[in-house]
A = this chain, B = another copy of it.
C-alpha cells in the first residue's frame, strides 16, 4: 500500500528534493500501522521504525526518531491509521500527539484543526491529505522566495537540518545557474548537520563543507559566508525566531559581519507568550551516540533551542512573502 501522502502529492517539488525528504521516506501508513524513517541512524543505516498504533508514534516523536517537519507527517499518518482502526481513540490520539514535542506548535495547530474539522463532520482522511498538499505548496512558494535571495557565488551558512524550504531554495538556485557553496555545522548533540544536511546537499550535487559548531564566525570573518538561512522551530510576528541552539550565536556574528539572516516559517505566530524551551538530558551532551565523551559525574546542560531576538533577523520567509515584522525589528536593516 502506498503512503497516503504520496498518493496525492503534486510531484512538483519531489523531483528537486533529496530522497529522505520525499513523503514516502519520512513516514508512511499501511493497514498494519505507521512506518517512520529513523533519522537517528542516517546516513549510515536506512531503517524504519514500525508503530502499530498512535501510541508508539507518540513515543517515536518523543525519542527523536524524526524531527523538523517529520512529526507533523507522522501525526497525520497516525490520525489516518487511527481513524481506520480505532476511531474511538481519535480524540485521545490527537491530544497525546500534540504533547509529544512541546516546541512543535505547527504540528499541534494543524492536527487540532484537522480534529476540529472532523468534529464538524469532515472526512478525516481528506482533511489530513489537505494538510500534506498544502505544505507541499507552502514549501514550493517559500523556496521561490529563498531562491530569490541567493546570488551567484554565495557562501551560505545554515544550522541543524533546514529541510524542504532551504533544500528547495538551493536546488532552484542551482537550476537557475547560480554557483553556491553551503557551510554545514555538525550540530551537536544530535549531529543533524553531519547526518542529514550534508548528505542531502551532496546528493543534490551542491558544494558543501562540514564544519564544527563553533566555526561559522571563523568563515564569516574571512568573508567566505555572506548569507545565513535556517528553518525555524517557531517564529513570531514580533520578529522572534526560535531555532536549534547555536542559531543565536550564528545570528549575532552575522549581524556583526553584515550578513543577512533569514528564517523560513510557514506561519509566524502573533503572540510570543507561549515560548517553551525544552531542556533535554545532560546525557545527550555527555555522549555521542553510545560513546561517552565526558565523565558521568559532569553536570551537563542541554537547552534545545535558542531565542533569536528581532534585531538579528533580516526577515522571516513565509508562503505569503518575507515577513519583516514591526518597526523595532526593521531598525537594524
A185 at the interface (CB under 8 A from B): yes
**Contact among B245, B252, B299 for A252, CB-based, below 8 A:** B252
A185 near B209: Cβ-Cβ < 8 Å: no
Is A307 positioned at the interface, with any CB of B under 8 Å from its CB? yes
Q: How many residues of A are counted as interface, with CB atoms below 8 angstroms from the partner's CB atoms?
A: 55
Q: Is the CB of B285 within 8 A of A288?
A: no
With A298-B198, A298-B202 known to touch, is A249 a contact of B210 (CB < 8 Å)?
no
Other-chain residue from B185, B187, B214 in contact with A185 (beta carbon distance below 8 A): B214
Cross-chain contact of A188 among B44, B213, B216, B253 (Cβ < 8 A)? B213
The docked-state distance in angstroms from the alpha carbon of A221 to that of B309 is: 10
User: How far is B216's CA from A217's CA once the two chains are assembled, in angstroms?
Assistant: 13
Q: With a CB–CB cut-off of 8 A, which chain B residues contact A213?
A: 188, 212-214, 246
**Contact segment of A87-95, A229-237, A289-297:** A289-297
A186-B188, A202-B297, A221-B248 given; name 9 further pairs at CB < 8 Å: A198-B298, A209-B299, A211-B302, A214-B245, A215-B245, A218-B245, A218-B249, A218-B303, A288-B288
Q: Supply 11 A–B pairs (Cβ within 8 Å), ascending by A.
A: A187-B214, A189-B212, A195-B293, A199-B298, A208-B299, A210-B294, A211-B285, A212-B285, A215-B245, A218-B249, A288-B288
